[in-house]
């Protein structure tokens, strides 16, 4: 890729869209963001095109230099055709986003689900430090998004859902999840779920945030410790399933909730240590070095989108 071409990664989120432009050596030329216009598909398309032009202008680049654009989008995506089957938060149904962008810009555009694409970004980030072939990524924020790279390739499964562990059911008759089912991992471990469990257990009327729970945890609040024990038990079991299902070398944790640092991670690591202490198999499979936390300033979505662009 030392041919002077430049590459664009676009991470379209429900509220913000970010564009990253890199040169052939993966050096950052520009990074811009704007709020996502979700009023209708035409607004989303126009906003994306505008942001791409802004990113190119800031990078002193021309459309003719761009080798390709990779786009990550929160929804069900047909990777081969670039059609967004369903993206509820973006108001898109059966929309040919890839073809529409390609027609407007004259540049090859590839579209993929945002969790899959972030996993590609994480895979590349890990490989800059050491060679790895099998990786799972779990992003914990408002929801839980996850994906796996197996043998160096993003593993999509039949519907692009492989590794999407946020919606595995962990509690019979548990809380209602955004997916319509009850007791998904997301209803215990995601940020709003942590806040809800604390408010319930502490008998609070006013809503709290996950941040409040982490602060209470660090101040040795007994209710916060009880909630975090439940959260870390559910998460560490899910991490064990990921490792036992895919036998990955690394499990990377990212997303807004991991930014809480020790208050979130310590109980999870303690739970994993306890699982190791109980079993020789766990000692091997859940070894501490397999768990990695993504730096909060690393945008896995845009880097993964660049990787997708280069794959074509
Ligand atoms: Zn669910």
| Ligand 1 centroid distance, CA of 299 (Å) | 25
Check residue 117 and give its pLDDT.
95
Assigned token pair, 218: 């660090």
Q: CA 206 to CA 124: how far, in whole Å?
A: 42
Q: 230 with 200: CB under 8 angstroms?
A: no
Residue 70 in contact with residue 62, Cβ under 8 Å?
no
**Distance from the alpha carbon of residue 140 to the mean position of ligand 1, in angstroms:** 14
pLDDT at 312: 73
Sorted by where each starts, the structural domains of the chain and their CATH numbers stand as 6-107 (3.30.420.40), 120-293 (3.30.420.40)
CB 21 within 8 Å of CB 56: yes
Query: How far away, in angstroms, is 171 Cα from ligand 1 center?
Result: 11
pLDDT of residue 159 exceeding 90: no
CA nearest to 177, candidates 187, 188, 168:
187
Instruction: With a cut of 80, say whether residue 254 has pLDDT above it.
Output: yes
Residues 6+ apart with CB under 8 A from 9: 19, 20, 22, 69, 70, 71, 72, 301, 302, 303, 304, 305, 306, 307, 308, 309
Residue 2 has a pLDDT of 56
Distance (angstroms) between ligand 1 centre and the Cα of 15 equals: 21
In percent, how much of the chain has pLDDT > 90? Answer: 90
- How many CB atoms are located within 10 Å of the residue 153 CB? 12
- The per-residue pLDDT for range 71-124, each reduced to its tens digit, is 999 989 999 999 999 998 899 999 999 999 999 999 999 999 999 999 999 999
Q: For residue 161, what pLDDT band results from cuts at 50, 70 and 90? A: confident
Which one-letter DSSP state was computed for residue 90? G
Q: Pick from 115, 34, 17: which is nearest to 69 by CA? A: 17
Q: pLDDT tens digit string along 188-237?
A: 999 999 999 999 999 999 989 999 999 999 999 999 999 999 999 999 99
* Residue 33 · residue 17 · CB < 8 Å: yes
Task: Find the 144 Cα to ligand 1 centroid distance in Å.
Answer: 9
Global pTM?
0.90
Measure 176 CA to ligand 1 centroid, in angstroms. Answer: 8
pLDDT score, position 163: 87
Phi, psi at residue 269, to the nearest 5°? -65, -35
> What span, in angstroms and rounded, lies between the C-alpha atoms of 134 and 32?
31
Residues 6 or more apart whose CB falls under 8 angstroms from that of 126 comprise 132, 135, 250, 252, 292
pLDDT value at 141 more than 60: yes
């Amino acid at each position: 890729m030392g041919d002077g071409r430049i590459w664009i990664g676009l991470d379209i989120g429900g509220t913000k869209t970010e564009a990253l432009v890199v040169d052939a050596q993966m050096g950052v030329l520009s990074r811009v963001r704007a709020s996502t216009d979700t009023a209708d598909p035409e607004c989303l398309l126009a906003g994306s095109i505008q942001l791409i032009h802004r990113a190119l202008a800031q990078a002193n680049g021309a459309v003719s230099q761009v080798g390709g654009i990779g786009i990550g989008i929160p929804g069900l995506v047909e990777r081969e055709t670039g059609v967004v089957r369903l993206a509820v938060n973006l108001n898109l149904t059966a929309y040919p986003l890839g073809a529409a962008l390609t027609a407007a810009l004259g540049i090859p555009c590839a579209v993929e689900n945002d969790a899959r694409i972030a996993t590609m970004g994480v895979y590349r980030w890990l490989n800059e430090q050491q060679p790895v072939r099998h990786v799972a990524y779990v992003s914990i924020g408002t929801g839980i998004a996850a994906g796996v790279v197996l043998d160096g390739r993003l593993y999509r499964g039949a519907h692009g859902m492989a590794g999407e562990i946020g919606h595995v059911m962990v509690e019979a008759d548990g809380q209602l999840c955004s997916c319509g089912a009850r007791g998904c991992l997301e209803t215990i471990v995601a940020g709003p779920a942590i806040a809800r469990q604390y408010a319930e257990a502490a008998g609070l009327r006013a809503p709290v945030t996950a941040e409040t729970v982490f602060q209470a945890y660090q101040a040795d609040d007994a209710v916060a410790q009880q909630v975090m024990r439940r959260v870390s038990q559910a998460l560490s079991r899910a991490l064990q399933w990921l490792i036992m299902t895919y036998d990955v070398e690394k499990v990377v944790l990212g997303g807004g909730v991991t930014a809480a640092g020790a208050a979130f991670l310590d109980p999870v690591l303690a739970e994993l240590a306890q699982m190791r202490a109980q079993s020789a198999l766990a000692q091997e499979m859940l070894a501490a070095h397999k768990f990695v936390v993504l730096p909060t300033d690393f945008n896995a979505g845009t880097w993964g989108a660049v990787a997708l662009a280069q794959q074509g």
